[in-house]
Amino acid sequence: MKFSTAPHRLATRTHSQRKAGVYSLLLLLVATALFVFSGTYSPTATAQDTPAEEPAAAEASTDELSDDELLELAVNLGSSKLASETVEQLIGMGDARVLRLFERLMANELRTVGDRLVWEPPALEGESPAEAGAPLLLNAVAAERELLDLETLKVDGELPKSKSFRGNRKARKVIQQRLSLMGLDLKDPVIREESARNVGNKRQLEALPKLLELAENDPEKAIRRTAEESANLIVASGTDPEADEATRVAAIAGLGELKSIRGLDVLKEVINSDDSTPAMVAAAEKSTDQINRHISVTNWIKNAFFGMSAGSIFVLVALGLAITFGLMGVINMAHGEMLMIGAVATWACFEFLSTNPFWSGDPMAALGLSPNWAYVVAFFMAFTIAAITGLLVEVSIVRFLYKRPLDSLLATIGVSYILIQLVRNWKGDNLPLTRPDWSAGGWEVYPDIVLGYSRMFIIALTAFCLAAVVVIFRFTKIGLMVRATVQNRAMAQTLGVNTRVVDMFCFAFGAGLAGLAGFGVYLIGNTTPQMGQGYIVDSFLVVVVGGVGKLLGVVISGLGLGTLEKILEPIVLIEEPIRLFDSTWAKVAVLLLVVLFIQRRPSGLFPEKGRAASQATGKDDMPWLGRPTWRTDAILGGLLVIVGLVVIPALYLSGNMSIDTLNRYGYFTCFAICAVGLDLIWGYMGVLSLCQFLFFAFGSYCMGFYLINIGPKDVNGIPECLAYVMSDVANPTPPWYLAYFQNLGVSFLLAMLLPGLVAAVIGVMMFRSRVKGVYFAILTQAITVIAWRVFQKNDLKMGGTNGIRVTFSEELFGNPIAFQEGLSLASQTRFKLYILSVIALIVTLIVAKAMVRSGYGRILLAIRDDETRLRFSGYQPWVYKALTFTVAGMMAGLGGALYFPQKGIITPTEMEPSWSILVVAWVAFGGRGTLWGAVLGALAISQIYNFMTSEAPEYWMYVLGGLFILVPLLLPGGLMSIPTLIGNGLSRSKPGGTPPPPAVPASNTGGAA
C-alpha cells in the first residue's frame, strides 16, 4: 500500500466506502476488547511472559467461607481438643487459602491480636505498617500482602499486643506431613498443577497414588499430563522399590512419549547407571532422542513467535514514525518519548484509577477500577496524551522547521531530553508496575509451547493500528486531504485543503500511534523515562528499510527484522574466542545487515519516485551561513593562543587555579578537537554524522591500552582493570591486542589511524552508494549502537561495561600522571597534557582551515550546495566525502587519545548515541560551517555542563534540551552568526540601506548531503 495518491482522486471515495471502512475498524476494536476480557486462566505460563512482581494467578471462586470465618475456624488449631479435627476440616475444604495459612503457620509468621489471627512477616523494602509505630499486620490467608485495617483490631481505642501463634504440636506434625501433598487436592487448578509438578521434581513416593489418580480423572488436560509426567519421573528414577523392570521401562518410554524436558536428567542417570538393564538403557536413549527433537522444534516455534511479537513492536513503534517521517519529511527524534508518554499514561491509569486512587481519603476511593478496566481506559489515555503532546510540539516548534529537516532533528532531540527529565523529576527512573490480570498467563498450544497473552495482545494491537491507519488514510476525508497534500501541497491548497490542519493532524496522529506502542510495550517491559531511547534507532531503520511512506514496507521490514533477530539468537556458530550468537550478537548482526542493505539499496524495499523521493534527503535552508574572514581567524586564533597558552597556564603556575580545574579545561579542549572534525563534514560538506564521538572513544581506548600496559598488573601479567573479565579463563594470559600498544608513539599513532580506518570503511561504503542526508545520519547512529553493544561484551576482554581505567600512577613524560608533591607545577604531567591538548587543537584548526580555504574546500562547498551538478561536472563526490569523513574521524581519535590520560577512564557509555548527539549540539550552538563555532560551542556547553551537574544536576537536561530547541529556532547560525545578524540589522536601519549579500551565495540550499 502507498500513502500517496494523485490529486484528482480526492473526490473518488464514495460515502459507502468510507462507511464500510469505519465499520470494519469498529469491528476490529470490538474483537480486540473481547480478546482482552477473554478467559484469564491458563495452567501454564513462561518466565518470559510472567513479571516477577505479578500477583498470583486467579483462584477459584467456590470458597464457602469468608476470610474472617476461615480465620475464626483456624484459631482452633491452638486448641489441644479441637486441633486435629480442625486440621482435617480445613484440609477437606480444598481451599488455596488454607494452603497459604498452613505455610505461614509452619514459617512461624502467624500471631494473634486479641481473638484475631493475623500474619506478621518480615517487612519488605519500602513496606510500612498501616500506622506509624504499629507492627506490620497482614491478612493471614490473602494471596497478596494485604494490610489489615487496624481500627477493626483495636479494643477501647488501643491495639492489643500481638502474641505468637504456633498451633498445637500434634496439629503441626500432621500439617507438616501433609503440606507438600495438600496442593494436589485443592480446587484451584493452577495450584493443583504446580503441586503435581513439585512432587514429581522432588520424587516424593507418597504422592504416587494421588498422581496416578489425577492422571486418570482430573478435568484439566494440562494437569492430567503433568501428573502423568511426575508419576513417570518417580517410577523411572527407581524411587519406587516395588516397580519391576517392565514398569520402569514403561515409565521411561512414557517420558519420551510425553516429550518430558524435566525427564532428561532422570534419563541421563538411567543411561549412566551400572544398575540399569539393557532394556532400560535402550528405552532411555530412545526417549532422550525424542525429547531433544521436541526441544529443537519447540525452540524454533517459540523463537518464531517471539520474533513475530518483537517484529510487531517494531511495526507498532515505526507506524507513527512512518507518518511523521515518511509523509511529512520531519525527523522526529522525540518519537521514542511519545512511546514513553504512552507507557507512563498507562501506568498512571493503574496508579490513579485502580490500585491507589489519587482521591484516597474520599468516599469515591472505593470505586477504583479493576486492573482490567484500568487498562481499557489506558488505551484511550495513552493515545490522547501522546497525541496532544505531539500537537503541542508541532505547533510550537516543528512548524517553523519543515524546510530544514536536520534542524528539525536537532529540535526534536531537545524535546526528547526535556520530556525524559520531566518524567524523571516527577516519578524517578523506575515506575512500579501493575498489569492486567490476564497478561501474566499464556495459551499452551502444544506441550512446552506457551504463547503469552501479553505478546499475543501486542500482535493484535499492531493489527488493529494497521487497520486503523488504512481506514483513516483511505476511507476518510482527512485521509484524502493528507494524501493530496503529500502529493502536491500547492495544488491541494488551491482546492481548499487547509494544509496547516493536515500538518497538525499528521504529527499528532503519529505521536498518538507511538503512545499506543507504549500502551502495548507496558505489558512486557519496564516503564522508565529513557525507555523510548531503546526504540528510536530501530524504528527509524524499519521505516528506512521498508521505504519512506510505504505502509507495506514498514510491516515487512518490522516483522522481518524482529523475526530474524530472534531466530539468530539460539544459533551457535562458534564458541571461542566469542560465542556467536546470543541476544547481543544477534542484535548486532541484524543492525549490520540493515546497514549493508541500505548501502546497496538506499531507498529501501519500496523506493518512492518523483517529488517524495527527495523529500527525506532534502537540504536545510541556511541563508545565515557565511565563511569567517582572515581577520576573524586572526582575532580568534590570537585569542585562543593568549587564553589557552598564556592566561590559563599563568593562573595555574601562580597557584590561582587548581590542577583539577586545569585538567578539566584540558579535556574540554579535547572535546573541541572532536567538534572541529564534525564541523568539517557537517558545516562545510553538509553531511550530518551521528557517530563522531564513537571515533573519539576509539582513540581513548587506544591510549588506554598503552597506559594499562605500563600500569599495575596481576600475577599473570594481566592489567588489573581487565583481570576481572578474565577470571573464568583456564589459562589466563594478557589479551593479544595489548602487544600492539607497548610504545607511546605507536599507540598515539594508532589512536588516530584506527578511527580513521573505521571512518574510511564507513565513508567508502556509504558515500559510494550515494547514501546521504537523513539516511546517512540514521545509519551512523545505528553504527554507534553496534559498537556500543559490542564493547559491552566481556568476550572481547576490553573491560566490558566497566571499560578501562588507570590509577594515575602510570608514567608519562617521565613522571606519574597523578599530582606529585615536591615536583614543580610546570613539571606536573597533567600540566604538560593540558599544553599538549591546546597545541593539538591549534594544529587541528590550522589543518582544517587549510583544507577549507583551498581548492579542496571549494569542492566540499560544491558538494554541500549541489552534489548532482558537481557529479555532472566530472567529479567523484564520494571520494572527497569519504576522505573528509576519514580526516574527521582521525581528528576525533586525536582528541580521544589526549582525553584518556587526563580523565583516567573510558567505558562503552561514551559510545552511546547521546554523546555523538552532544557533539552535534556543540557545533550547532557555536555555529556550523565556521570551525571556530565548533570550538566555542564545545567549550561553552562543556563548562555549562560542569556547572549544572555540580550545582543543579536535575536541571541539566532542561538546559541542554532548551539549547537544541532554541538554537535552530532563534539562532540557527549559532554564536558565530551574531556579528553577521547585528551587521545586517544595522545595515537595514540606515536610510536607504540594504542588507549585504551572503558570503556564500549558493549556501541557502546546503545542510544535508
Per-residue pLDDT of 405-419, as tens digits, reads: 778 888 998 999 999
Q: Is there a contact between 686 and 1008 (Cβ–Cβ < 8 Å)?
A: yes
3-state secondary structure of 573: coil
CA quadruple 995, 996, 999, 1005: dihedral sign: positive
Residues 639 and 516 in one domain: no
Q: How far apart are CA 14 and CA 17, in angstroms?
A: 5
pLDDT at 199: 87
Higher pLDDT, 473 or 364: 473
Query: For residue 434, what are the contacts with CB-CB under 8 A and spacing of at least 6?
Result: 347, 350, 351, 354, 355, 371, 374
Q: Which of 52-61, 162-171, 621-630 has the highest mean pLDDT?
A: 162-171
Residues 892 and 776 in one domain: yes
Residue 433 lies in a domain: yes
Residue 576 confidence (pLDDT) above 60: yes
Domain total for the chain? Answer: 3
pLDDT at 8: 37
Residue 187 lies in a domain: no
**How many percent of the chain have pLDDT more than 70?**
86
Residue 808 confidence (pLDDT) above 80: yes
pLDDT at 1009: 31
Q: What is the mean pLDDT of the chain?
A: 82
pLDDT-derived band at 43, boundaries 50, 70, 90: very low
End-to-end CA distance of the chain: 29
Q: What would the grid cell of residue 126 be?
A: 519500602
CA 935 to chain centre: 32
Enclosing domain of residue 492 = 304-530
- What is the rounded average pLDDT of the residues 891-912? 93
The backbone torsions φ and ψ at residue 476, rounded to the nearest 5 degrees and listed phi first, read -125, 160
Domain boundary, last residue among 490, 513, 530: 530
pLDDT at 379: 93
Residue 729 lies in a domain: yes
Residue 359 confidence (pLDDT) above 70: no
Q: Which of 83-87, 142-146, 211-215 has the highest mean pLDDT?
A: 211-215
In this structure, of 150-159, 405-414, 679-688, 829-838, the range with the lowest mean pLDDT score is 150-159
pLDDT-derived band at 729, boundaries 50, 70, 90: low
Q: Measure the CA angle with vertex 183, ends 181 and 185; round to 5°.
A: 90
Higher pLDDT, 41 or 803: 803
pLDDT-derived band at 11, boundaries 50, 70, 90: very low
Please spell the DSSP secondary structure of 470-526, one letter per residue.
HHHHHHSHHHHHHHHHHH-HHHHHHTT--HHHHHHHHHHHHHHHHHHHHHHHTTTS-
In this structure, of 27-31, 712-716, 877-881, 951-955, the range with the lowest mean pLDDT score is 27-31
pLDDT-derived band at 52, boundaries 50, 70, 90: very low
- What is the rounded average pLDDT of the residues 191-211? 87
Residues 514 and 647 in one domain: no
Residues 166 and 311 in one domain: no
Residues 351 and 492 in one domain: yes
Residue 854: is it exposed, middle or buried by C-beta count within 10 angstroms (0-12/13-18/19+)? exposed
Residues 640 and 524 in one domain: no
Q: Is there a contact between 866 and 662 (Cβ–Cβ < 8 Å)?
A: no
Q: Measure the CA angle with vertex 67, ends 63 and 71; round to 5°.
A: 115
How many other C-beta atoms can be found within 10 angstroms of the C-beta atom of residue 250? 15
pLDDT-derived band at 649, boundaries 50, 70, 90: very high
Q: Measure the CA angle with vertex 673, ends 671 and 674; round to 5°.
A: 65
Q: How far apart are CA 289 and CA 448, in angstroms?
A: 16
Residue 980 confidence (pLDDT) above 90: no
pLDDT in tens, 113-138: 888 888 888 877 767 776 766 788 88
Residue 400 lies in a domain: yes
Q: Among 206, 185, 205, which residue's Cα sits nearest to residue 195?
A: 185
pLDDT in tens, 239-295: 888 888 899 999 999 999 998 888 899 999 999 988 889 999 999 999 999 999 998
pLDDT at 988: 59
Residue 21 confidence (pLDDT) above 50: no
- What is the rounded average pLDDT of the residues 565-579? 77
In this structure, of 755-769, 788-802, 832-846, the range with the lowest mean pLDDT score is 788-802
Q: Measure the CA angle with vertex 678, ends 676 and 683; round to 5°.
A: 95
- What is the rounded average pLDDT of the residues 327-352? 87
Residue 341 lies in a domain: yes
Domain boundary, last residue among 510, 530, 550: 530
- What is the rounded average pLDDT of the residues 590-606? 82
Q: Name the E strands within 156-270.
A: 163-164
Residue 1002 confidence (pLDDT) above 80: no
Q: What would the grid cell of residue 716 be?
A: 599473570
Q: What would the grid cell of residue 416 be?
A: 526528547
pLDDT at 664: 92
pLDDT at 751: 95
Domain boundary, last residue among 530, 557, 586: 530
Residues 836 and 706 in one domain: yes
pLDDT at 381: 93
Q: Is there a contact between 411 and 393 (Cβ–Cβ < 8 Å)?
A: no
Residues 497 and 372 in one domain: yes
Show the DSSP H helices in 904-977 as ranges: 913-926, 932-951, 956-970
Amino acid at 678: L
Q: How far apart are CA 888 and CA 869, in angstroms?
A: 25
Residues 521 and 641 in one domain: no
Residue 802 lies in a domain: yes
Residues 504 and 652 in one domain: no
**Which residues face 804 on adjacent strands?**
906
Residue 376 lies in a domain: yes
pLDDT in tens, 108-117: 888 888 888 8
- What is the rounded average pLDDT of the residues 365-369? 50
3-state secondary structure of 38: coil
Residue 921 lies in a domain: yes
How many other C-beta atoms can be found within 10 angstroms of the C-beta atom of residue 367? 10
